[in-house]
């Protein structure tokens, strides 16, 4: 710890930039990326930057008030297409890399997103929300006033619902619009709608010869009751659609090999429901024969690290090598993520892995090098070049912030659970730590439950350490990073061994760190972590304060009110409402409300459709009726993503309320 550095505050969320989405130019001498910040008006801004790999500093490319993202270079490197809200809603813009003003390509009423180039640079593919009878040739973007009036008019109309999948936490109530894939001719400046079905379509890739488009969708006849996401090939000449996968699982991140004869993707067939590890598959483009390349590893592919500052998408793989004989991807393992390589025989190698969080990659075939986005517990983000096994830093992000504040470096611990399983966790020392002094303690519990705490920057954890708490965070069974058996182990056992894992970790901390005051223990968590916080205070009185965030308290009602309740309840607890309501009640923290003696703060977003606010309401009313010490803080307009991407002032207020509660009772 550096003495002259100050402690972190909640408002420091506005002090640093979050980098994402690195994208190499074709010749490999430059890359572009997105930098997201919170401006003086407490709104998010995202700007594009470019940097030559030989330069010391990146150069800002966009400067408007809004969100610029998804930069994609043309195959010849002379143009850059990107997504921007500068006109009011996300649309596509095109700029020349040698300078000049960007030109707006799309004026779609509901916006245009996720651009991608054809291999010859003649076309740009993108996604757009369309009504059934929309014509892509005469799309007109609404003015701000027109959008506001339409929003006000819709608010006065009833919502007619006839689908099981009628809402989502990310998009609210669904309407009749569907995500379709559009092709833009760069020379003719014309649009062609490629998909037409009454479902959402996801663009995946275009074949090297430009004849076939790869997309994902659920085209099942009974798709309202199905969670599959299949891959399809669309012949752009004949318009014939061929199903590539078997309708039994979910597949994404698909791409053609440079040779065009293979297709790689991530996917699973739900063997362990939502706890199933993804596999790396390769399909023969002609025969559609499938090969699994990841059978030799018991590890989750992709980036499953959890945090509260990571914003913006980033490529995580699989990415083809220039000779179509290898694939590169990010893997999640033991509290860290790294870059891995698989050959077509299924041999897996680690290209880069350390005690940190690799959150994105870009591969350049010409130089055979990578740009990696990396975060650590004491540094929100930077970009690095990995070349011939050597890592060199490209950016020096957030130096002013990092020079000013003191951040706690986590100490890794390994705890033996009651049944001998090994549980990984981390301890943060409080700011200004002094030997011989006793400190209060907070246990943090992640959501998911199939996610992973680890070696990344996490503002909430650093804030609690800055406020003088010893912070413990762990990956109990159910977490990713420790293999299939481990991530599956909490299913149908919520509040069982996952609970005792956490209590074993607390016991370990008290036994091995004599500076923890055992009489001042706090606990908090969100989503599944909120469920577990509720469960803990109903089963032990060892904690003197608790904060439950966007939690689950009653599985009986969760089944019918959550956007995922109708399948998640059975996936995770083994039963749906009508199967065994008594069993669901046994799993519900609300049942144990009379046992709660711990002062409890309930934090919830008003528009949370994942764990709806009625879950917090039920718990509050029950505890208040029982004359328990409880308080309820509701955040207007906030979804389940409040802590990660919610309105900035709300995020800061949420952190302040958490700190206030622990300060009052610990």
Predicted local distance difference test score (pLDDT) of residue 10: 97
Backbone angles phi, psi at 250, to 5 degrees: -130, 130
- How many Å apart are CA 254 and CA 120, to the nearest integer? 19
pLDDT in tens, 291-329: 999 999 999 999 999 999 998 899 999 999 999 999 999
- How far from chain centre, in Å, is Cα 373? 15
**Confidence band (pLDDT; 50, 70, 90) for 654?**
very high
**CB 609: neighbour CB atoms within 10 A?**
21
- How many Å apart are CA 464 and CA 513, to the nearest integer? 17
**Confidence band (pLDDT; 50, 70, 90) for 1?**
very low
Average pLDDT of the residues in 8-35? 97
DSSP 8-class letter at 261: S
Which pair of tokens denotes residue 642? Answer: 């409040």
Average pLDDT of the residues in 489-503? 98
Residues 180, 91: contact at Cβ < 8 Å? no
Predicted local distance difference test score (pLDDT) of residue 562: 98
Those residues with Cβ within 8 angstroms of residue 194's Cβ, 6 or more apart along the chain or in another chain: 125, 180, 181, 182, 183, 213, 234, 236
**Confidence band (pLDDT; 50, 70, 90) for 3?**
low
Catalytic annotation, residues: 527, 640
Strands (E), 131-227: 167-168, 172-173, 178-185, 190-193, 201-206, 212-217
Predicted local distance difference test score (pLDDT) of residue 353: 97
**Confidence band (pLDDT; 50, 70, 90) for 4?**
confident
Longest dimension (CA), the chain: 77
Q: CA nearest 342: which of 357, 353, 331?
A: 331
Predicted local distance difference test score (pLDDT) of residue 40: 85
Q: CA nearest 125: which of 137, 135, 117?
A: 117
How big is the CA angle at 183 (ends 177 and 187), to the nearest 5 degrees? 140
SS3 24: strand
Average pLDDT of the residues in 543-550? 98
Residue ranges covered by each domain of the chain? 407-553+588-665
**Confidence band (pLDDT; 50, 70, 90) for 2?**
very low
- How many Å apart are CA 224 and CA 164, to the nearest integer? 6
- For residue 130, pLDDT over 70 is answered with yes
pTM, whole model, 2 decimals? 0.97
- How many Å apart are CA 474 and CA 453, to the nearest integer? 7
- How many Å apart are CA 306 and CA 448, to the nearest integer? 9
% of residues, the chain, pLDDT over 70: 100
- For residue 223, pLDDT over 60 is answered with yes
* CATH no. for 407-553+588-665: 3.40.50.1820
Predicted local distance difference test score (pLDDT) of residue 379: 98
Q: CA nearest 317: which of 303, 296, 307?
A: 303
Predicted local distance difference test score (pLDDT) of residue 41: 85
DSSP 8-class letter at 229: B
pLDDT in tens, 423-460: 999 999 999 999 999 999 999 999 999 999 999 999 99
- For residue 421, pLDDT over 80 is answered with yes
pLDDT in tens, 139-185: 999 999 999 999 999 999 999 999 999 999 999 999 999 999 999 99
Those residues with Cβ within 8 angstroms of residue 431's Cβ, 6 or more apart along the chain or in another chain: 1, 7, 8, 406, 408, 465, 466, 467, 468
Strand 516-526 to 545-549 pairing: parallel
Q: CA nearest 23: which of 77, 66, 65, 67?
A: 77
Q: CA nearest 118: which of 196, 188, 184?
A: 184
Residues 585, 569: contact at Cβ < 8 Å? no
- How many Å apart are CA 21 and CA 135, to the nearest integer? 32
Distances (CA, A) of 371 to 18, 20, 359, 374, 444: 16, 11, 11, 10, 32
Q: Which of 2-16, 27-41, 180-194, 262-276 is predicted least confidently?
A: 2-16
């Amino acid at each position: 710890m550096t003495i002259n550095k100050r402690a972190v505050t909640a408002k420091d969320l506005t002090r640093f930039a979050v980098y994402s989405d690195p994208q190499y130019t074709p010749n490999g001498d430059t890359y572009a990326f997105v930098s997201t910040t919170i401006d003086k008006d407490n709104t998010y801004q995202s700007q594009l930057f470019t940097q030559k790999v030989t330069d010391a500093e990146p150069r800002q490319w966009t400067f408007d008030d809004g969100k610029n993202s998804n930069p994609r270079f043309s195959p010849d490197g002379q143009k850059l297409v990107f997504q921007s809200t500068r006109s009011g809603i996300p649309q596509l813009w095109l700029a020349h890399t040698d300078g000049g003003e960007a030109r707006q390509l799309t004026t779609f009423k509901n916006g245009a997103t996720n651009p991608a180039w054809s291999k010859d640079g003649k076309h740009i593919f993108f996604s757009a929300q369309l009504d059934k009878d929309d014509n892509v040739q005469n799309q007109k973007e609404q003015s701000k006033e027109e959008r506001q009036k339409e929003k006000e008019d819709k608010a006065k109309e009833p919502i007619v619902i006839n689908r099981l999948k009628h809402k989502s936490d990310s998009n609210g109530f669904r309407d009749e619009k569907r995500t379709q894939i559009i092709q833009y001719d760069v020379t003719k400046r014309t649009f062609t709608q490629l998909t037409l079905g009454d479902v959402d379509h996801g663009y995946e890739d275009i074949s090297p010869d430009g004849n076939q488009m790869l997309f994902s969708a659920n085209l099942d006849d009974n798709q309202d009751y199905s969670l599959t996401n299949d891959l399809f090939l669309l012949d752009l000449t004949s318009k014939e659609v061929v199903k590539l996968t078997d309708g039994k699982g979910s597949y994404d991140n698909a791409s053609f090999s440079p040779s065009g004869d293979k297709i790689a993707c991530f996917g699973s067939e739900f063997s362990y429901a939502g706890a199933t590890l993804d596999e790396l598959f390769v399909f023969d483009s002609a025969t559609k024969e499938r090969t699994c390349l990841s059978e030799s590893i018991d590890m989750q592919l992709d980036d499953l690290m959890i945090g509260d500052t990571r914003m913006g998408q980033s490529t995580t793989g699989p990415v083809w090598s220039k000779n179509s004989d290898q694939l590169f991807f990010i893997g999640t393992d033991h509290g860290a993520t790294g870059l891995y390589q698989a050959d077509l025989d299924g041999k897996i190698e680690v290209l880069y892995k350390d005690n940190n969080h690799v959150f994105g990659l870009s591969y350049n075939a010409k130089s055979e090098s990578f740009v990696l986005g990396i975060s650590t517990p004491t540094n929100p983000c930077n970009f690095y070049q990995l070349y011939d096994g050597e890592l060199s830093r490209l950016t020096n992000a957030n130096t002013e912030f990092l020079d000013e504040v003191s951040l706690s470096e986590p100490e890794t611990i390994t705890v033996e659970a009651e049944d001998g399983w090994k549980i990984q966790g981390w301890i943060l020392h409080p700011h200004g730590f002094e030997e011989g002094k006793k400190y209060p303690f907070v246990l943090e519990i992640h959501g998911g439950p199939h996610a992973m705490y680890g070696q990344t920057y996490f503002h909430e954890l650093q804030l609690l350490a800055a406020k003088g708490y010893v912070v413990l965070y762990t990956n109990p069974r159910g977490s990713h990073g420790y293999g299939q058996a481990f991530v599956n182990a909490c299913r149908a056992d919520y509040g069982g061994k996952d609970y005792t894992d956490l209590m074993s970790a607390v016991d370990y901390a008290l036994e091995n760190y004599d500076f923890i005051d055992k009489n001042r223990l706090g606990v908090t968590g969100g989503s599944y972590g909120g469920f577990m916080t509720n469960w803990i205070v109903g089963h032990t009185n060892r904690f003197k304060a608790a904060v439950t965030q966007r939690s689950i308290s009653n599985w009986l009602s969760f089944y019918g009110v959550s956007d995922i309740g109708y399948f998640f309840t059975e996936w995770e607890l083994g039963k749906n409402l009508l199967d065994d309501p008594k069993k669901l009640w046994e799993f519900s923290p609300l049942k144990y409300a009379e046992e709660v003696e711990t002062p409890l703060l309930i934090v919830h977003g008003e528009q949370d459709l994942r764990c709806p606010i009625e879950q917090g309401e039920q718990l509050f009313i029950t505890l208040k009726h029982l004359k328990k010490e409880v308080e309820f803080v509701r955040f207007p307009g906030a979804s389940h993503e409040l802590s990660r991407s919610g309105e900035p002032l709300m995020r800061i207020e949420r952190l302040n309320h958490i700190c206030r509660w622990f300060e009052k009772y610990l």
